[in-house]
């Protein structure tokens, strides 16, 4: 997953440097960020640090004294984020960051088939980095995703909307009460990493292995990782989760998300803040930094990072949609330096559609975004649906069948809508036997449906997903049964 950053690890000063720093016009330049922007060492550091604080200040989302969990993968970007938080906490009073940071690392070694010994070494290396910060930290093996509660795929009610002046009031209050004594990072806890059972690693590998394509496997891994991160934040009392996505990574994510059918979720997937989980807000404070800037900074100021292999490490460009998009963007960027920033600027203009995703049933079971499957006729989803229906039509005379995923042949057609009922020939649909396999895909957004479709079996999904699916399907079945007794449409919302 650190491929993007690696590309920039070439010699630092490849470009021919102008002699002077454009900012202070005194010191000699040490780094060129964009053509014409040459900074000396000191000015570059100032620029970099300022950008982090400006990003947080502009968005005014993180309140003084709030607990914020930093998701650190060991890659250059999230490690740079960690160093910026450290930097921010050591600033003088009026520039100081005032939240309470903690760190979480998800050990994904099991997913990529690393040996126990290899995983232990990586964890040790990162532990040393985290210990040096003095922040509390958690090392969580990805295998723990198998034991999550179903509540993780529910959007919990968040804090009530803050008033416009609330942020300033909170800062003032904070300065009055705590003053410059400020916030300390809290007690650093040394919890031993939980033992990973071999059986758990095998279940995880079977789960990821059931995806027939690397594209689906990566999507699945992203979803599982996010569930585990959100659950860890929730159970440790953190209300914000900081992700280290750089602008380069977000540009790749934006394009690959479109290719994967996640157009409706783009604003959530790439924006500064992402509130799909309700009570735990995801924030991306590194989204203004290019991978190149980060690489320069980390090297000049000795920010440590630890290489961890991802699913697509050492695979060919065309091995997955995500990987192909990445190499496309990186190669284009090499010749056209404004590629990444142009794509990235687009993401800033996106807004999540104000759908009525208030009820849990309106959210995707996997990515927890509002369902896009009820979209207008022009969506890719409905196009796929029509083509599936057409391809299943055997001859003009024969009755049209519902697409396989909405209603398996053995299943009650009332789920699809009454009109197909008469076509079955088996009499009233209520006599059809209960569903053998639940139409899990009906609970997913378009893109997640594609991911599940690429899996050889849905049964290998973790229990918390399966049992939540069962609960939702039961509920909608129940709602269907009592529909005739309900007075009004509005009445069933309550
Ligand atoms: Zn300078
Ligand atoms: Zn989804």
Tell me the pLDDT tens digit for each residue of 5-24: 444 444 444 455 567 898 89
Instruction: Look at residue 17 in the predicted model and tell me its pLDDT.
Output: 56
Interatomic CA distance for residues 374 and 63, integer angstroms = 36
Instruction: Look at residue 183 in the predicted model and tell me its pLDDT.
Output: 43
Instruction: Look at residue 150 in the predicted model and tell me its pLDDT.
Output: 92
| φ and ψ of 469, to 5 deg | -60, -45
Is the confidence at residue 110, as pLDDT, over 50?
yes
Interatomic CA distance for residues 436 and 427, integer angstroms = 19
Tell me how far the alpha carbon of residue 201 is from its chain's centroid.
Answer: 22
Instruction: Look at residue 415 in the predicted model and tell me its pLDDT.
Output: 41
Q: How far away, in angstroms, is 249 Cα from ligand 2 center?
A: 20
Give the model's confidence band at 229: pLDDT under 50 very low, under 70 low, under 90 confident, else very high.
very high
Give the model's confidence band at 169: pLDDT under 50 very low, under 70 low, under 90 confident, else very high.
confident
Give the model's confidence band at 4: pLDDT under 50 very low, under 70 low, under 90 confident, else very high.
very low
Interatomic CA distance for residues 414 and 442, integer angstroms = 14
Q: What number is the average pLDDT over the span 64-82?
A: 96
HSE-up of 166 (CA within 13 Å, CB side)?
11
Q: What number is the average pLDDT over the span 170-182?
A: 56
Q: How far away, in angstroms, is 465 Cα from ligand 2 center?
A: 12
Counting ligands in written order, the one closest to the CA of 444 is 2
Give the model's confidence band at 360: pLDDT under 50 very low, under 70 low, under 90 confident, else very high.
low
Q: How far away, in angstroms, is 15 Cα from ligand 1 center?
A: 18
HSE-up of 274 (CA within 13 Å, CB side)?
24
Is the confidence at residue 320, as pLDDT, over 50?
yes
Instruction: Look at residue 48 in the predicted model and tell me its pLDDT.
Output: 95
Is the confidence at residue 238, as pLDDT, over 90?
yes
Q: How far away, in angstroms, is 94 Cα from ligand 1 center?
A: 23
Counting ligands in written order, the one closest to the CA of 46 is 1
End-to-end CA separation in angstroms for the chain: 44
Q: Which long-range contacts (CB under 8 A, 24 or more apart) does 190-194 make?
A: 191/138, 193/107, 193/123, 193/139, 193/140, 193/141, 194/140, 194/141, 194/144
Lowest mean pLDDT among 72-76, 89-93, 272-276, 409-413: 409-413
Give the model's confidence band at 358: pLDDT under 50 very low, under 70 low, under 90 confident, else very high.
low
Instruction: Look at residue 412 in the predicted model and tell me its pLDDT.
Output: 40
Q: How far away, in angstroms, is 178 Cα from ligand 1 center?
A: 35
Is the confidence at residue 434, as pLDDT, over 60?
no
Instruction: Look at residue 491 in the predicted model and tell me its pLDDT.
Output: 47
* More confident: 308 or 76: 76
Is the confidence at residue 85, as pLDDT, over 90?
yes
Lowest mean pLDDT among 10-19, 37-46, 110-119, 300-309: 10-19
Residue range 134-161, pLDDT digits in tens: 999 999 999 999 999 999 998 887 765 5
Counting ligands in written order, the one closest to the CA of 441 is 2
Map tokens 């999507």 to a residue: 219
Counting ligands in written order, the one closest to the CA of 38 is 1
Q: Are 306 and 125 in contact (CB under 8 A)?
A: yes
What DSSP assignment string belongs to 384-446?
HHHHHHHHH--STTSPPPPPTTT--TTS-GGGT-GGGGGGGSSS-GGGSPPPSS--GGGGS-H
- 69 beta partners: 102, 241
3-class DSSP state of 24: coil
Counting ligands in written order, the one closest to the CA of 45 is 1
Nearest to 186 by CA among 100, 270, 260: 100
Lowest mean pLDDT among 12-16, 169-173, 193-197, 216-220: 12-16
Is the confidence at residue 210, as pLDDT, over 70?
yes
Counting ligands in written order, the one closest to the CA of 47 is 1
Counting ligands in written order, the one closest to the CA of 25 is 1
Give the model's confidence band at 162: pLDDT under 50 very low, under 70 low, under 90 confident, else very high.
low
Q: What number is the average pLDDT over the span 235-252?
A: 95
CA distance to 135, 353, 456, 462, per residue, from 155 (Å)? 28, 17, 28, 18
Give the model's confidence band at 241: pLDDT under 50 very low, under 70 low, under 90 confident, else very high.
very high
Q: How far away, in angstroms, is 103 Cα from ligand 1 center?
A: 33
Is the confidence at residue 494, as pLDDT, over 60?
no
Q: How far away, in angstroms, is 18 Cα from ligand 1 center?
A: 12
Q: How far away, in angstroms, is 458 Cα from ligand 2 center?
A: 15
Q: How far away, in angstroms, is 51 Cα from ligand 2 center?
A: 32
Q: How far away, in angstroms, is 282 Cα from ligand 2 center?
A: 17
Q: How far away, in angstroms, is 484 Cα from ligand 2 center?
A: 31
Q: What number is the average pLDDT over the span 295-304?
A: 96
Instruction: Look at residue 222 in the predicted model and tell me its pLDDT.
Output: 95
Nearest to 96 by CA among 84, 110, 109: 84
Q: What number is the average pLDDT over the span 178-190?
A: 49
Residue range 381-432, pLDDT digits in tens: 777 777 777 777 655 544 444 444 444 444 444 444 434 444 343 333 433 3
| φ and ψ of 241, to 5 deg | -125, 115
Q: How far away, in angstroms, is 365 Cα from ligand 2 center?
A: 6
Is the confidence at residue 240, as pLDDT, over 50?
yes
Counting ligands in written order, the one closest to the CA of 446 is 2
Instruction: Look at residue 335 in the predicted model and tell me its pLDDT.
Output: 87
**Around ion ligand 2, which residues have CB less than 5 A away?**
364, 366-367, 445, 448
**How much is the pTM?**
0.81
Q: Which alpha helices (DSSP H) does 271-422 contain, by range?
A: 291-300, 321-335, 339-349, 380-392
Six token digits for residue 140: 């969580």
Interatomic CA distance for residues 154 and 364, integer angstroms = 9
3-class DSSP state of 71: strand
3-class DSSP state of 248: helix
Is the confidence at residue 371, as pLDDT, over 70?
yes
Q: How far away, in angstroms, is 291 Cα from ligand 1 center?
A: 22
Interatomic CA distance for residues 330 and 335, integer angstroms = 9
Residue range 447-493, pLDDT digits in tens: 999 999 999 999 999 999 999 999 999 988 888 888 888 776 554 44
Percent of the chain residues topping a pLDDT of 70: 75
Q: How far away, in angstroms, is 214 Cα from ligand 2 center?
A: 17
Nearest to 343 by CA among 281, 266, 268: 266
Is the confidence at residue 281, as pLDDT, over 80?
yes
What DSSP assignment string belongs to 73-114?
-SSHHHHHHHHHHHHHHTS-GGG---SEEEEEEEE-TTTTT-
Instruction: Look at residue 101 in the predicted model and tell me its pLDDT.
Output: 96
Q: How far away, in angstroms, is 358 Cα from ligand 1 center?
A: 51
3-class DSSP state of 313: coil
Nearest to 209 by CA among 221, 223, 197, 193: 221
Interatomic CA distance for residues 292 and 126, integer angstroms = 23
Interatomic CA distance for residues 303 and 147, integer angstroms = 34
Interatomic CA distance for residues 421 and 399, integer angstroms = 11
Q: How far away, in angstroms, is 366 Cα from ligand 2 center?
A: 5
Q: What number is the average pLDDT over the span 163-181?
A: 62
3-class DSSP state of 58: helix
Average pLDDT, the chain: 81
Q: How far away, in angstroms, is 38 Cα from ligand 1 center?
A: 8
Is the confidence at residue 50, as pLDDT, over 80?
yes
């Amino acid at each position: 997953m650190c491929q993007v950053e690696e590309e920039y690890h070439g010699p630092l000063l490849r470009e021919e440097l102008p002699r002077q720093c454009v900012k202070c016009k005194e010191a000699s330049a040490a780094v060129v960020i964009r053509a014409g922007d040459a900074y000396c060492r000191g000015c570059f550091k100032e620029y970099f640090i300022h950008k982090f604080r400006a990003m947080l200040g502009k968005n005014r989302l993180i309140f003084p004294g709030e607990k914020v969990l930093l998701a650190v993968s060991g890659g250059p970007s999230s490690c740079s984020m960690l160093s910026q938080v450290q930097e921010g906490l050591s600033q003088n009073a009026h520039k100081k960051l005032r939240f309470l940071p903690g760190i979480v690392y998800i050990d994904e070694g099991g997913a990529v088939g690393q040996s126990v010994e290899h995983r232990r070494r990586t964890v040790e290396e990162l532990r040393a980095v985290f210990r040096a910060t003095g922040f509390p930290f958690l090392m969580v093996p990805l295998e723990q995703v198998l034991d999550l509660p179903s509540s993780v795929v529910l959007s919990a009610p968040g804090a009530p909307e803050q008033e416009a002046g609330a942020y300033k009031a909170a800062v003032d209050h904070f300065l009055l009460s705590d003053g410059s004594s400020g916030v300390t990072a809290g007690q650093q806890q040394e919890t031993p990493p939980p033992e990973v059972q071999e059986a758990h690693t095998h279940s995880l590998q079977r789960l990821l292995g059931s995806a027939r394509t690397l594209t689906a496997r990566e999507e699945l891994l992203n979803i599982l990782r996010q569930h585990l991160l959100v659950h860890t934040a929730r159970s440790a009392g953190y209300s914000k989760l900081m992700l280290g996505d750089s602008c380069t990574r977000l540009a790749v994510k934006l394009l690959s998300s479109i290719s994967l059918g996640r157009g409706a979720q783009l604003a959530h997937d790439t924006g500064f803040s992402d509130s799909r989980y309700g009570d735990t807000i995801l924030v991306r404070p590194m989204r203004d930094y290019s991978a190149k800037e980060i690489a320069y900074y980390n090297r000049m100021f000795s920010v440590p990072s630890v290489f961890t292999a991802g699913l697509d490490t050492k695979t060919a460009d065309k091995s997955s949609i995500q990987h192909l998009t990445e190499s496309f963007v990186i190669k284009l960027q090499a010749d056209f330096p404004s590629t990444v920033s142009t794509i990235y600027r687009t993401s800033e203009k996106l807004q999540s559609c104000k759908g009525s995703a208030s009820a849990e049933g309106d959210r995707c079971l996997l990515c927890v975004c509002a369902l896009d499957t009820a979209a207008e006729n022009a969506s890719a989803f409905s196009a796929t649906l029509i083509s599936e229906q057409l391809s299943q039509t055997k001859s003009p005379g024969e009755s049209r069948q519902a697409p396989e995923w909405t209603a398996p042949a053995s299943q009650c057609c009332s789920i699809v809508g009454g009109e197909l009922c008469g076509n079955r020939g088996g009499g009233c649909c209520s006599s059809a036997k209960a569903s053998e396999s639940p139409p899990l895909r009906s609970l997913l957004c378009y893109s997640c449906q594609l991911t599940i479709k690429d899996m050889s079996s849905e049964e290998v999904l973790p229990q918390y997903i399966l049992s939540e699916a069962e609960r939702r399907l039961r509920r909608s079945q129940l709602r269907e049964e009592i529909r005739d007794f309900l007075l009004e449409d509005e009445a069933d919302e309550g």
